[in-house]
């Protein structure tokens, strides 16, 4: 799986200037991450966890909050707001974010941080690694200042940081980066889809409040996923 994804990614990077599917995903952040991840996927994919440590059903159940958000977004967008979606851009961004960012930030970075904090208790080790990797992931979005306002970027940094905690929790609980890629990809897919259908994309006070509330809900779910009783069941050996 990893080699196939890596080859597809390399081909698309080389073809990016010819109007490839992922042309809309080439932000400054992705320009740095995508070539590295593509090469890593082909050369040495063993540095991350691929095989689930739980049943597929249990792994998929952890993504329920994202599935509900996607369903709600699709329904309200099409029925209530009658948005004209850009499906190609949404699929491209969802795929690119799920693959590149998760492999790099959760697969590689989180694994390195788990090693770095290995002298701490298991609970502290996991939460320190998740917090630091998520914060770095969120701060990487400061590069988006090249094409959006400061207020939108700050909100995106907060949202991405909280999202990173959730993706990290899913990765650790399931033992497979594929599940983290799935939920992250779906999240960015629905957000891009909704934004692409809006005529006015300026962030309002109401929209900001909704984003902060959603981030708080996601954070609480993440804390629940990584409660002490579940942390005991996480097998870190295969993730570091």
Mean pLDDT of the chain: 83
pLDDT (tens digit, 9 = 90+) per residue, 18-47? 444 444 444 555 655 666 666 666 556 667
pTM of the entire predicted model? 0.85
User: Residue range 52-64: average pLDDT?
Assistant: 95
C-alpha to C-alpha distance for 143 and 72, rounded to whole angstroms: 30
**pLDDT for residue 86:** 82
pLDDT (tens digit, 9 = 90+) per residue, 132-180? 999 999 999 898 888 888 988 999 999 999 999 999 999 999 999 999 9
77 vs 200, residue with greater confidence: 77
Looking at the chain, list the stretches that DSSP marks H as alpha helix, in order from N- to C-terminal side: 2-14, 28-43, 56-61, 64-75, 87-96, 111-116, 122-139, 150-174, 177-196, 205-225, 228-231
> What is the percent of the chain with per-residue pLDDT over 90, rounded to a whole number?
50
pLDDT beyond 70 at 183: yes
**pLDDT for residue 18:** 44
N- to C-terminal Cα distance for the chain? Answer: 20
**pLDDT for residue 25:** 47
């Amino acid at each position: 799986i990893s080699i196939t994804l890596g080859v597809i990614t390399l081909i698309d990077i080389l073809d990016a200037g010819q109007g490839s599917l992922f042309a809309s995903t080439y932000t400054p952040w992705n320009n740095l991450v995508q070539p590295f991840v593509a090469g890593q996927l082909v050369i040495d994919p063993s540095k991350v966890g691929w095989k689930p440590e739980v049943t597929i059903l249990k792994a998929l159940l952890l993504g329920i909050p994202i599935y509900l958000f996607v369903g709600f977004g699709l329904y309200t967008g099409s029925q209530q707001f009658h948005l004209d979606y850009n499906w190609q851009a949404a699929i491209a961004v969802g795929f690119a974010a799920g693959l590149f960012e998760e492999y790099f930030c959760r697969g590689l970075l989180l694994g390195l941080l788990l090693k770095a904090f290995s002298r701490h208790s298991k609970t502290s080790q996991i939460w320190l690694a998740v917090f630091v990797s998520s914060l770095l992931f969120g701060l990487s979005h400061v590069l988006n200042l090249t094409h959006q306002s400061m207020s939108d970027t700050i909100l995106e940094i907060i949202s991405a940081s909280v999202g990173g905690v959730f993706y990290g929790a899913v990765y650790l609980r399931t033992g497979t980066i594929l599940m983290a890629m799935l939920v992250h990809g779906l999240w960015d897919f629905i957000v891009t889809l909704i934004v692409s259908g809006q005529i006015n994309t300026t962030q309002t006070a109401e929209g900001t409040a909704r984003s902060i509330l959603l981030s708080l809900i996601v954070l609480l779910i993440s804390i629940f996923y990584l409660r002490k009783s579940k942390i005991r069941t996480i097998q870190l050996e295969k993730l570091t």
